[in-house]
Chain A
């Protein structure tokens, strides 16, 4: 069974704020849930399936069903870090295709900027099996991701200048997003001159830390037709986990190689067909490796692909992250997968900012890399098509 064409994203909502000191996490979950359902023309009473990550308060889907007043017949709290929400879309589509539900709600909320966990911190228990063997002074994700960057530079001759071009393109897009945390356009030199955090990654190679959240509504095509709202039909989904493999890890590729291949195969399209891509951008290296792993360019050619405005919208080789992405706009709860899907939906609806809207955008990709790239992470990829109202 394939999920191709079996479910449609009809609601997408990104919390407009980047600092939310005056709300609980549960309140933010409700705000974004109501926002996405209103976008679709639905209400909480229509929801029969609910999806969330492990940072959701209380017993996750149980507590949120109670808080939101949901009557659900299907729940899923798959946790693959910041890529969770792309996996949730795939799982929702499969559940809808199997007749388990009709209206699936996915929510995310986090407050790392003004409360709760510090940047890059984790709620994972200290009894993770590797804990005793990795007390090496890794703070936040940047140290971890810097290891992969160092190896990619060594083995494949990627440069800091090339990585900086990814941030430059994101900043050029963010200037048009009034809600973006960072709206100033930066240059390659600005990135290289910013303080080194974990060599070879500079401060401007890193995503922002923001409060916020977002939500998606995934429904059966029959429901979508009745609603009459444009959206994004799910054409393909893939997910994969990559880990240290008992000591045999290769740091020059990610699980995106597997998740991307699966999503493209299910959708029956190739990277060359994609008109817009939301690529998880926790760090610049995350984007570069994903582009290679997804097949937008050959391994080792990511640097050449992104330099000189390669990711600029609408005229670059592959318009990406037109909201400014995690690098400039928003990384709610230290988890960027939700906003990746939301901006892809905007593009497919033709509702991105006019300055960065890809003309006639019919086919988009959204990709997430969650967890820690250089030790253990989960990738999830969606291929999405325009769904006319």
Chain B
């Protein structure tokens, strides 16, 4: 249903709980043990208050569109996927994530629309090796 390329991201062991959560169909974010902020993009400490520890915590995976563009001109493997939606989604827990809203009707996606997480398999590697990341986080209208 996505139609979008799902390239393997560069693996960052610091964010291993995030990637592991996606593989299980959950959105797991670091939450600062001191100030309570949900931190995006994932890090193992808190850049808001500089506290050194976080707790990896499942979140709802629900949110609303904060900003969105419909990409009409793209390059490389994304060229044939256009038009598609690039958006900031504001999770119910607060953080704003740069992401895609996957839909067959990009023009219908509006700021303020409710969305939910969708878990997208990473495109298979040409060499068949097992990738360190199997699943990407995107969103779809609800």
Residues of A within 8 A of B (CB): 118, 126-127, 129-139, 142-143, 146-151, 154, 195-201, 244-249, 251, 374-375
Contacts and interface: CB of A to CB of B under 8 A. Distances in A.
Given A136-B100, A148-B67, A198-B70, A247 B94 contact: yes
B23 interface: no
Contacts of A154: 67, 111-112
A143 B86 contact: yes
Interface of B: 4-5, 7, 9-12, 15, 37-43, 46-48, 66-76, 78, 81, 84, 86-88, 94-100, 111-112, 133, 136
B88 A251 contact: yes
A132 B12 contact: yes
A204 to B, nearest CB: 14
B98 A136 contact: yes
Contact of A132 (B10, B46, B97): B10
A147 B10 contact: no
Contacts of B96: 244, 247-249
A247 B69 contact: no
A172 B57 CA distance: 55
Contact of B75 (A126, A130, A132, A139): A139
Nearest to A148: B67
Contacts of A147: 67-69, 86-88
A246 B98 CA distance: 12
Most central of B11, B74, B81, B99 by chain A CB within 10 Å: B74
B69 A150 contact: yes
B123 to A, nearest CB: 11
Contacts of A143: 69, 71, 86
B135 to A, nearest CB: 12
Nearest to B101: A136
A127 B111 contact: no
Given A198-B69, A247-B40, A133 B86 contact: no
Contacts of B74: 137, 139
A56 B73 CA distance: 29
Nearest to B38: A247
B67 A151 contact: yes
A198 B73 contact: yes
Contact of A151 (B39, B40, B66, B76): B66
Nearest to A374: B67
Among B10, B47, B112, the most chain A Cβ lie within 10 Å of the Cβ of B10
Contacts of A132: 9-12, 15, 41, 133
A353 to B, nearest CB: 33
Contact of A199 (B38, B69, B98): B69
A197 B74 CA distance: 9
Nearest to A131: B10
Contacts of B46: 246
Contacts of A374: 67, 88
A327 B112 CA distance: 31
B40 A246 contact: yes
Contacts of B48: 245-246, 248
A247 B38 CA distance: 8
A255 to B, nearest CB: 17
13 contacts: A132-B11, A133-B9, A133-B98, A135-B136, A137-B5, A137-B81, A143-B71, A147-B88, A150-B111, A195-B73, A247-B97, A249-B88, A374-B88
A198 B71 contact: yes
A201 B133 CA distance: 34
